[in-house]
Amino acid sequence: LAANSPDLLARIACAGAGIAASSDLFAERGVEKGELVRVLPDWSLPEVTGWAVFPGRRLMPAKTRVFLDMMEESCCQEARKKLRIDVL
């Protein structure tokens, strides 16, 4: 399967429609429930880096702060360790 939505890929694979490349963040629930099985355990997706660039915290709109907080909360435990917010 190929799609630009990792959540969709994991849900389709859970439904039994085929093999999907998905990050642990989106696949771990299916693996824990026994709905997904790792078929290539020694292979992993390349690491992806995301950036949130803003001018500073002093005048940061509340909606930006809420978005950044939501993004931080949605990251898996391993990614959260790497999450860093820099002020430029």
Say if CB 10 and CB 19 are below 8 A apart.
Answer: no
How many CB atoms neighbour CB 26 within 10 A? 19
At a CB cut-off of 8 Å and minimum separation 6, what does 54 contact? 60, 64, 88
Summarised one tens digit per residue, pLDDT across range 35-78 is: 888 888 888 777 777 777 777 778 888 898 898 888 777 765 55
3-state helix, strand, coil in the chain (%, to 5): 45, 0, 55
More confident residue, 60 or 1: 60
> What's the sign of the alpha-carbon dihedral 86, 76, 3, 64?
negative
Q: Where are the domains of the chain?
A: 1-47, 49-88
Question: pTM for the complete prediction?
Answer: 0.47
Residue 83: the pLDDT is 52
More confident residue, 33 or 55: 33
The per-residue pLDDT of the chain, averaged, comes to: 78
Which two structure tokens, joined as six digits, stand for 12? Answer: 């389709």
Residue 88: the pLDDT is 45
